[in-house]
Structure 1
């Protein structure tokens, strides 16, 4: 027992030495890896992808082999989200289970099933909303894009070089989308095909006009600079008009969202005034059918209000 303090000190010193050696090995290995990445990036041989560690790789591999997985992958590709199909599927399933238990506990089990079905539709609607959001962000950058292309072509640069330069100067999403176009052009794709795929990924009338102008100018020649200058002014005016229309219709959009929320509020009020009323209401077939019809009417009203407030500029 008299040697216990010495033994403790010895073990502590040995642990410290091993910790120092481990830190040194880790730092030297990290420095060697970074030097290797920098050397390969300079030679252009390999570009090691960065980013976060992917989750649910097993689910992702199995899902990509199915038709549903390929469809999800195509939708995610045009949204700009840093997600894999496997991650998206797991998150959606987890969200559906959470909706079922939470809504079922607050209202009634039947409402949990309806919430899960609505959440399944909401997962697809979320991807569509992200695509529209990305398209709107790209449209807002079109005036700056046409200005950069006009300046580059006026300086004597070819359209391929002008697109690559615009990809470096513009922020995302325009920068990322133009980098895809530049990569396709660098591997031999024609300008028509590369720009056509861009218009398919981000469908909008403004982008179609720009793509048509660039394609026709590359085919038949002509005053590309003057066409881009005029297009820049037109896009600036359309951008201001779209902003004004969005501001004017904001109250209508809030109303479309408030109507179904009021219905849910009334259900909560009824259940608070008479505990168990929702369980009794959805305990019979007639009550379940009436609940489904009521939710369907709320959905139709929401869609009709959004449809009437949709103005194409």
Structure 2
């Protein structure tokens, strides 16, 4: 028991590694199942795919009538997650309670309150991260998308038909987003509104340029094929530039995460070396204020590093 801090850190790292492996295995299994269902549905071995049963239907119905529910629904729609606002709210509340009890038991009850407050921010940050991840994946498919649109329009197809063809040929997320645009156009929505909603869901400079090109070509005509060909070359160059910038800034992003994790590691070592030290430290108002200021400084440092490492390409 003399090496209790090292044993605690080792068990924590092993738990994190096992959690990452479990998430990876679950994600790969789910992807394989979805691919198998799609393949069987295309070959006619199964008639249709029944969506999963929704949970917390009554709560979801009430949330959709509130501003919070509408804002949450809009964010979830931009992420592509198979969640309803009611499910998301319930999962976030359950996560906050879990953070409070787990962190409070490991460190001190006051740290459980701080973890719950951080979890409130983390729930919204998770949706923003998923939206950014989906946007980046869509941007990566833009050169292929413009190439398909250019070939279709060069063959004499209308822009609406070209979008439907691109939705069938491209993988998700581009295929899913274009199918949504095609469905909106089929319901009578204008090209400007349908593409404008797409640009709002996945905001990026590249997509705005593409949407502007398609809208102008649908209004005034012109050499849309030539414009799409030139845009394809430009997007290919920007894709390579973005990849280089991401690689160069990867170390900075790791540093931004490592600094607060080191602080938590030191707290674990202090509590393991001197049991009850964190309870004494947060037992008074002065200690709670000092701890809150320390966590706030960690958060400010993380945000500042993230802001300084953000490069607009």
CA apart distance, 1:107: 0.3
CA apart distance, 1:62: 2.3
Find out whether 1:160 has 2:145 as its counterpart.
Answer: no
How far apart in 2 are the matches of 1:185 and 1:199? 15
* Matched residue, 1:259: 259
Which consecutive unaligned segments of at least 5 residues does structure 2 have?
1-43
**SS of the residue 2:80 aligns to:** coil
Cα shift readout 1:220-253 (whole Å, capped 9, x = no counterpart): 2111111101100100010011011101110000
How far apart in 1 are the matches of 2:262 and 2:172? 38
How far apart in 1 are the matches of 2:190 and 2:63? 33
How far apart in 2 are the matches of 1:77 and 1:261? 32
How far apart in 2 are the matches of 1:213 and 1:241? 22
How far apart in 2 are the matches of 1:214 and 1:59? 40
CA apart distance, 1:301: 0.4
Cα shift readout 1:170-193 (whole Å, capped 9, x = no counterpart): 111101110111111111111111
How far apart in 1 are the matches of 2:288 and 2:140? 46
Find out whether 1:180 has 2:158 as its counterpart.
Answer: no
* Matched residue, 2:215: 215
Find out whether 1:148 has 2:148 as its counterpart.
Answer: yes
Find out whether 1:292 has 2:292 as its counterpart.
Answer: yes
* Matched residue, 2:74: 74
Cα shift readout 1:235-275 (whole Å, capped 9, x = no counterpart): 00100110111011100000000000001111111111111
**SS of the residue 2:145 aligns to:** helix
How far apart in 1 are the matches of 2:79 and 2:143? 21
Q: Calculate the TM-score normalised by the size of structure 1.
A: 0.84
- Per mean C-alpha deviation after superposition, the further-off stretch among 267-276 and 203-212 is 267-276
The structure that has the greater radius of gyration is 1
Equivalent residues in 2 for 1:69-218, closer than 5 Å: 69-218=69-218
Find out whether 1:63 has 2:80 as its counterpart.
Answer: no
CA apart distance, 1:66: 2.1
* Matched residue, 2:39: none
CA apart distance, 1:65: 2.3
Cα shift readout 1:268-305 (whole Å, capped 9, x = no counterpart): 11111111010000000000000000000000000111
CA apart distance, 1:49: 7.3
How far apart in 2 are the matches of 1:86 and 1:190? 31
Equivalent residues in 2 for 1:242-253, closer than 5 Å: 242-253=242-253
How far apart in 1 are the matches of 2:70 and 2:196? 21
**SS of the residue 2:79 aligns to:** coil
CA apart distance, 1:58: 2.2
CA apart distance, 1:50: 2.6
How many positions carry a matched residue from both structures? 268
How far apart in 2 are the matches of 1:179 and 1:257? 37
How far apart in 2 are the matches of 1:83 and 1:203? 21
How far apart in 2 are the matches of 1:194 and 1:164? 13
- What is the Cα-based RMSD across aligned positions, in Å? 1.3
Q: Calculate the TM-score normalised by the size of structure 2.
A: 0.84
